A = this chain, B = another copy of it.
Amino acid sequence: MLEQVVCLAAVTVLGLLEQAYFALMVIYARRKYSVSPPATTGPPEFERVFRAQANCSEYFPIFVFSLWLAGVFFSQAIAVICGLLYLYGRYRYFHGYAESTQGRLGPLYFSAKVQWVLIALAGLGITCTMIQVYL
């Protein structure tokens, strides 16, 4: 049974590593721009890195939930492809945002689209399963 989810698990671990990487980047930015906790404001360069990580963290559970629902109820292979695209989009979002406020927009639209696809696939798969089970 684990083979039906092992690739979803692998993408999730990749996502965990990405989130850890973003958090380390915030710690480095705190040192570089001398912004000690509990402060969350400072030079715009710091604030962009801080918010980039905060935004990715906010969406991370949403991403993982939709990845697993799409993978279990629709197709593991397609969910995995979307998952990798999403993580790549978030990587570019983080670095784009760190460079400039504008820089976050392209990757944001990209990862938002992938996120919508995952939610749609999850919804479709769940609807089909419900029809099979209850009709």
Whether B130 pairs with A62 at a CB distance below 8 angstroms is no
Whether A60 pairs with B62 at a CB distance below 8 angstroms is yes
Asked if A17 is at the interface (CB within 8 A of a chain B CB), the reply is yes
- Pick the contact of A73: B2, B64, B73 (CB < 8 A): B2
Q: How far is the CA of A72 from the CA of B123 in the complex (A)?
A: 20
The verdict on A6 contacting B130 (CB below 8 Å), with A38-B48, A64-B65 known, is: yes
Q: Mark out the residues of chain A between 38 and 58 whose CB falls within 8 Å of any chain B CB in the assembled complex.
A: 38-40, 44, 47-48, 50-51, 54, 57-58
Q: How far is the CA of A12 from the CA of B2 in the complex (A)?
A: 21
Interface residues of chain A, those whose CB is within 8 Å of chain B, are 2-3, 6-7, 9-10, 12-13, 16-17, 19-20, 36-40, 44, 47-48, 50-51, 54, 57-58, 60-62, 64-66, 69, 72-73, 97, 101, 104, 115-116, 119, 122-123, 126, 129-130, 133
Q: How far is the CA of A48 from the CA of B50 in the complex (A)?
A: 17
Q: How far is the CA of A97 from the CA of B22 in the complex (A)?
A: 21
Q: How far is the CA of A65 from the CA of B51 in the complex (A)?
A: 23
Whether A9 pairs with B126 at a CB distance below 8 angstroms is yes
Whether A6 pairs with B126 at a CB distance below 8 angstroms is yes
Q: How far is the CA of A13 from the CA of B70 in the complex (A)?
A: 10
B residues within 8 A CB of A6? 73, 126, 129-130, 133
